[in-house]
Structure 1
Amino acid sequence: MSTVLQPIQVTLLGLSGTALVLCTQNTFSAPVQGYVMSVQMTPAVCLIDSSKSKKRKCLEGYSLNIEGLYPEVATRECSTHSSAKLPPLQAKVVARVMPDEAARIQLWQGIGGCVPMNASQYFRMIINNADRMNVPSVLTGQDTQTVQLSQLRSLFLKSNSGMSSKSVHFQCSNHQGKSYLTEIKICYNTAGRYKQCGAAIESNCPNQFVIKGSY
C-alpha cells in the first residue's frame, strides 16, 4: 500500500500528528505509498475512556467502528479546507462503520490534503475496504471473552485472502488489571490489497487479552 526517489522519512499521519509508519519517498509531490485502517473496538474504548461514553457509538452499542484510513505520505502537513460533506445516501452508509459525523469531518480535514481524491471518493474507499474484510465473529459478540493473540491473528488470516501476519496488528490497553483489545491496524497498498505494515506498526497486546462484549 511506488517509486523511491531521494530517501527520507515517510509518515503515516494520524489525527494527533504523530508518525505511525515509516517508509521512504521524496518530499516533492510524493504519492501515497499505502494506507493503514484503524478499527476501534468500541465497547472496550467506551469502558476505558469515560469521556467517550456519551458518543453515539457507545450509546448505541457498536461492537467496532473505523477511526480512519491513514495515508503513508512524505509530509506531516496534510490538512485541507475542502468540504467533507457527503451525499445523504453515502453519509448513511458510512455511518454504519463511522457513526460520529464530527469525527469524520475532523479526519478528512486532517488528512484530506494528502490523498489523491475528494472526500466522497475517500470515504467510498473506506467502505470498500471494510466490506471486503471478514471480521471474526469473536470481535462482534455480546459476551466478553478472553482470547489468545495467536488465535485471533489466525482467525483473521483464515478468513481474509491475501492477508499475512504482518498485515494486521493488535493494540491493547490496561484497565483495572486486565488487558483489553482496543484497536486493530490493517495495512493496504494503494490498490486496496493487504500488504506488510511498516516497521512502526506493531502489536502491543500480551499473549492473552480480553475482548469486551457489546453488552
Structure 2
Amino acid sequence: MGICTAVVHASPAPAGYVMEIQLVPAACSLDPQRNKKRKCLEGYSLNVLGLYPEVAAQRNCTSHTVLNLPPIQAKVVARVMPDENARKQLWQGVGGCVPMPANQYFRMMINYAEKLKIPDELTSQETRVMQAAVLRSRMLRLNPGLPTQGFEFSCQQNKTNSILTEIKICYQNNGHYKACPKNVQNNCPATFTIKGSF
C-alpha cells in the first residue's frame, strides 16, 4: 500500500510555482457571462485562479485522480476559490505535475494566499486609476522577502482604458518568493484602472 502511494505521487518536483490572483470586479465587468458566477454575485474582491507548477511547456500535467477534498477543507478553499468546478478543473489540469495529493496541494495554496499581504487599493469599493510603480512598491513594502521580479501584473484593455485583472506571484518549492520565470510577463501600461468591488 505504502509503495503504491509513493508511486502515484512520485511526480518530479516542479521548478517552482506561480499563484494567479484574479481581481474579481474587473473580471466580472469585462465578461458579462461571468456575472452569474458565485464570486461575482457574492461580492468577492479577490479570487485565486490557481497555483501553477513551473514545468516544461510540453509536459502533460493532467491528473488521473478525482478531486475529493474533505468538507472542512473544501470550505476553507472556497474562501479564496469559491467555484467548485474551477477547483476540479484546476486539479485536473495540474495534478499530474505536483508531487503531492490534492488535499496537500490545496493546503499549500491556502497557506500561500493567506501569507500574501494585498494593498487596500485592490480590495476597495472605489474604482481608481493607479500607477503600476506605486502598486508595485506597496506590494514590496507589505511582503518582506518578495523580490521586485517576484510578481507581475496582467491587464485587459476595454474601450477607454487598461484594467488590472490579475497578479501573478512566483514561489520556490519551499514557499519562499523568487523571481518569476521569463514566461510570466507584465502586460500592463504605466497607469491602469483598478475596478472597485461594485
Query: Which of these residues, 74, 87, 96, is aligned with residue 104 of structure 1?
Result: 87
| Partner SS, residue 73 of structure 1 | coil
1:1-215 map, 5 Å: 30-74=12-56, 75-215=58-198
- RMSD of equivalent CA atoms: 1.0
Write the distance in 2 (CA, Å) between the matches of 1:94 and 1:46: 20
Assess if the C-alpha contact under 8 Å between 2:12 and 2:98 holds in 1: no
**Aligned with 1:70: secondary structure?**
strand
TM-score, structure 1 as length reference: 0.85
CA contact (8 A) 1:35 1:188 kept: yes
Partners in 2 of 1:76 and 1:54 — Cα distance? 34
Q: Cα distance, 1:114 vs. partner? A: 0.6
The whole-number CA distance in structure 1 between the counterparts of 2:89 and 2:151 is: 25
Distance in 2, matches of 1:181 and 1:205, equals: 7
- Between Structure 1 and Structure 2, the one with more strand by share is 1
Q: Give the counterpart letter for 2:47 in structure 1.
A: N
State the alpha-carbon separation in 2 of the partners of residues 148 and 91 from structure 1. 36
Deviation of 1:61 (Å): 0.8
Paired residues in the alignment total: 187
Q: Report if aligned partners of 1:187, 1:195 keep a CA contact under 8 Å in 2.
A: yes
**Residue 50 of structure 1: how far off its partner (Å):** 1.2
2:4 corresponding residue in structure 1: none
Aligned residues of 1:30 and 1:73 also touching (Cα < 8 A): no
Structure with more of its chain in helix, by fraction = 2
In 2, Cα distance between the equivalents of 1:209 and 1:81?
41
Gaps of 5+ in 1: 1-28
Judge which range, 89-98 or 76-85, deviates more. 76-85
Does the aligned pair in 2 maintain the 1:43–1:63 contact within 8 Å? yes
Q: Within 2, Cα distance between the matches of 1:183 and 1:158?
A: 19
Alpha-carbon deviation of 1:199?
A: 1.0
How far apart, CA to CA, are the structure 1 residues paired with 2:139 and 2:177?
12
Q: Name the counterpart of 1:26.
A: none
Match of 2:148, SS state, is: coil
